[in-house]
Amino acid sequence: MKFFPIYLMKKMLVIKMKCELIQNLSKDIREIAYIQNGIVISILKYEDKEKLGQVFCDGDYFGLDSLVFGINIIDYYKVGKTRFKKESYQLFTELLKDKDYYDKFFLNLKITFLEIASFMQKKEDEILLLNLRKIYNRSSKIKGLPKAFILNYIDKDRIYKLVEKELIKEDDEFFYYNPE
């Protein structure tokens, strides 16, 4: 029997599960970021465990926790080739002087914090369904969430109850919202 070093086994496992599509952003986000194209997934730390938070789609701002609190209390992961633009605090304060930017930003801020508050009270399968519906309605290219990533945060039985009820669909790599 041939043994592989652990780092090689982990690398093969990641490639098989397609987790390479997801990259942790929490080290990069220091101010605020704007999604130009793609999806960012947030992971909340609540009651000593990590919980799936909301997804952010094209045109959304994320990293608001570091802007408001000065620390990263939420971890962010990008899916695939998501493109985002970071804005420095100085540039951000200049942009807020523009009325259209100001209105759009504060509407986004209100929605983000309402979602965070409501997601802390919701069951994990409800959060998944809401996120998949949001992606279906708002994302231009990505239409689902990677299974390998989602199964780290949500119990498999809860997910497959959604599949049985035909509220979501799946393939080998992703979970999708079922609009029917």
pLDDT in tens, 53-72: 889 998 888 877 666 655 56
For 111, the domain range is 22-177
Average pLDDT over residues 73-87: 81
Q: Tell me how many domains the chain contains.
A: 1
Neighbouring residues of 131: CB distance < 8 A, sequence distance ≥ 6? 41, 52, 54, 55, 145
- Residue 64 parent element (H or E): helix 64-69
Say if CB 15 and CB 21 are below 8 A apart. no
| Residue 98 banded pLDDT, cuts 50, 70, 90 | very high
Q: Is 16 within a domain?
A: no
Q: Do the Cβ atoms of 63 and 34 come closer than 8 Å?
A: no
Position 139 confidence tier, pLDDT thresholds 50, 70, 90: confident
Exposed e or buried b per residue across 112-128, where buried means at least 16 C-beta atoms within 10 angstroms of its C-beta: beebbeebeeeebbebb
Residue 24 has pLDDT above 60, yes or no: no
Residue 154 zone, left/alpha/beta (φ > 0; ψ -120 to 50; rest) = beta
Average pLDDT over residues 157-173: 94
Indicate whether 111 belongs to any domain: yes
Residue 172 lies in a domain: yes
**Residues in contact with 4: Cβ distance below 8 Å, sequence separation at least 6, in sequence order:** 12
Residue 44 CA to residue 50 CA, distance in Å, equals 6
Give me the mean pLDDT over the 146-170 stretch.
93
Domain assignment of residue 17, yes or no = no
Q: What are the structure tokens assigned to 168, written together?
A: 């979501």
Residue 12 is assigned to a structural domain of this protein: no
Res 114: pLDDT: 85
Q: In Å, what is the CA distance from 71 to each residue of 19, 88, 147?
A: 26, 15, 29
Is the pTM here over 0.85, yes or no? no
Q: What is the CATH number of the domain that holds 156?
A: 2.60.120.10
Q: Are 56 and 35 in contact (CB under 8 A)?
A: yes
Residue 64, in any domain of the structure: yes
User: Residue 107 pLDDT > 80, yes or no?
Assistant: yes
pLDDT band at 130 (very low <50, low <70, confident <90, very high): very high
pLDDT (tens digit per residue) in 34-47:
889 888 888 887 67
Most confident of 44-48, 75-79, 93-97, 163-167: 163-167
The reply to whether 107 falls in a domain is yes
Please indicate, yes or no, if residue 10 is contained in any of the structural domains: no
Read off the tokens for 20.
């390479």
CA 126/CA 158 separation, integer angstroms: 9
